[in-house]
């Protein structure tokens, strides 16, 4: 809005005000060129508001001249700025608070179960840098990491996302062997920096998720179970992670057939050893279609392929305890969960007890 009075009365302004306006224009163009902020409430504009507001008001005073018109213009401008962006700002402020809260919860849970000097790679650093003082925190986006910022990998055209932060250096990140990697959307790779990791077999083979229950949901973080070894080189087709991501989005939207097709494509594109989470999601799709026999068989195939997928053991435990009434198998899967995510088991035990009560009724 400050451009309106600028264009109307620019010739009447003094050279000092014109200099301020020129600075504002250059700053705004700079923000547009670099792509703005990772959050969508335009925080980069906040520092120049003390300059924009008086420039706009001076322009209105010169243009409108009459006192009552000046007051009307000021009230209109104030009303416009308060009313129209209000819902947008409230919505993203809520999202920002939830992001900070979820990250804080994740770090609290992580510190409670891992007392080592662990390292964490994260795509939205935020509160992590403050909560993990003394730990190495790696910024996947390069906003606070000079190596990634100055020496990013060549962009991959097929990694299309809505994120504006396109700098990443997955080879550098994996060479640091972070103990944990936290994505912005938990299990799902959304940012280019997250998806690029899926192009390296070392990530697919070395990292598995562990989960914590808070906020009424399971929240996952990737944990390194095996050392990162061998030459770090992109060998996975980018279509693999694109299809995998599409499958997750389609499953969340209830588009089961489309999701199945995406996961099948991802499965076909992934070299051996196959990425186990693709098979897990295909199994979950069978469960959602009420094909419980196929669901059960696919879970059993999964745990034969990979012994670190706690999701599979959780589902098998529930099936053996509640559906097939096989206490020996249930105890076996419970032991695996105690080895992988011991903090998760008490809540699962309570859920099984409540489920049995409902079944017996």
Same-domain status, 58 and 118: no
**72 and 135 housed in the same domain:** no
For residues 151 and 50, state if they share a domain: no
At 162 the pLDDT is 58
pLDDT, tens digit (0-9, with 9 covering 90-100), for 239-264:
999 999 999 999 999 999 999 999 99
Q: Which of 52, 84, 116 is the last residue of a domain?
A: 84
Both 56 and 156 in one domain: the answer is: no
pLDDT tens string 156-199: 877 766 555 667 899 999 999 999 999 988 899 988 889 999 99
Range of the domain at 209: 100-235
Q: What is the pLDDT of residue 10?
A: 61
In a domain, residue 314? The reply is no
Q: 115-149, pLDDT tens digit by residue? A: 999 999 998 887 888 889 899 999 988 877 888 88
pLDDT at 5 over 70: no
On whether the CB atoms of residues 263 and 244 are closer than 8 A, the answer is yes
Q: Which pLDDT does position 358 carry in this prediction? A: 77
| Residue 219 CB contacts under 8 Å (≥ 6 apart), including other chains | 102, 105, 106, 186, 211, 212, 213
Contacts of residue 326, defined as CB under 8 A and 6 or more positions apart, other chains included, come to 320
Instruction: Assess whether 79 and 104 both reside in one domain.
Output: no
Q: Are residues 105 and 228 in the same domain?
A: yes
pLDDT, tens digit, for every residue of 78-101? 777 777 778 877 887 777 787 788
Dump pLDDT digits (tens) for 6-56: 555 566 667 777 788 788 888 888 877 765 555 555 667 778 777 777 777
**Predicted local confidence at residue 39, as pLDDT:** 52
Q: Is residue 209 part of a domain?
A: yes
pLDDT digits (tens, 9 = 90+) for 286-338: 999 999 999 999 999 999 999 999 999 999 999 999 889 999 999 999 999 99
Mean of all residue pLDDT scores within the chain: 86
Helices (H) and strands (E) in the chain, counts: 17, 5
pLDDT at 224: 98
Domain end residue (candidates: 213, 235, 257): 235
Assigned domain for 309 exists: no
**287-320 CB burial, b ≥16 within 10 A, e <16:** beeeeeeebbebbeebbeebebbbbbbbbbbbbb
Alpha carbons 87 and 93: distance in angstroms, whole number: 10
* 211 DSSP β-pair partners: 220
Q: How far apart are CA 106 and CA 90, in angstroms?
A: 24
- The number of domains in the chain is 2
Domain final residue, candidates 185, 208, 235: 235
């Amino acid at each position: 809005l400050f451009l309106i009075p600028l264009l109307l009365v620019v010739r009447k302004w003094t050279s000092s005000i014109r200099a301020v306006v020129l600075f504002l224009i250059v700053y705004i163009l700079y923000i547009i060129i670099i792509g703005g902020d990772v959050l969508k409430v335009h925080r980069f504009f906040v520092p120049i508001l003390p300059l924009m507001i008086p420039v706009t008001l001076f322009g209105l005073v010169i243009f409108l001249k009459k006192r009552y018109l000046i007051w009307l213009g000021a009230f209109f401008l104030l009303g416009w700025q308060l009313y129209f962006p209000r819902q947008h700002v409230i919505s993203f402020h809520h999202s920002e608070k939830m992001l900070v809260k979820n990250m804080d919860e994740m770090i609290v849970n992580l510190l409670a179960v891992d007392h080592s000097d662990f390292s964490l790679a994260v795509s939205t650093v935020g509160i992590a840098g403050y909560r993990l003082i003394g730990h190495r925190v790696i910024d996947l986006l390069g906003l606070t990491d000079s190596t990634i910022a100055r020496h990013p990998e060549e962009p991959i055209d097929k990694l299309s996302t809505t994120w504006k932060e396109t700098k990443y250096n997955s080879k550098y990140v994996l060479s640091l062997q972070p103990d944990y990697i936290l994505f912005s959307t938990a299990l799902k790779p959304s940012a280019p920096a997250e998806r690029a990791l899926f192009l390296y077999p070392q990530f697919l083979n070395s990292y598995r998720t562990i989960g914590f229950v808070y906020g009424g949901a399971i929240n996952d973080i990737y944990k390194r179970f095996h050392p990162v070894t061998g030459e770090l080189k992109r060998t996975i087709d980018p279509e693999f992670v694109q299809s995998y991501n599409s499958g997750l989005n389609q499953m969340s939207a209830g588009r089961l057939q489309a999701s199945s097709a995406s996961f099948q494509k991802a499965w076909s594109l992934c070299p051996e050893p196959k990425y186990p989470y693709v098979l897990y999601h295909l199994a979950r799709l069978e469960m959602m279609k009420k094909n419980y026999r196929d669901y059960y068989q696919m879970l059993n195939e999964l745990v034969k392929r990979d012994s670190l997928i706690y999701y599979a053991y959780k589902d098998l435990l529930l099936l053996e305890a509640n559906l097939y009434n096989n206490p020996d198998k249930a105890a076996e899967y419970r032991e695996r969960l105690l080895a992988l995510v011991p903090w998760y088991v008490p809540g699962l035990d309570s859920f099984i007890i409540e489920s049995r009560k409902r079944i017996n009724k």
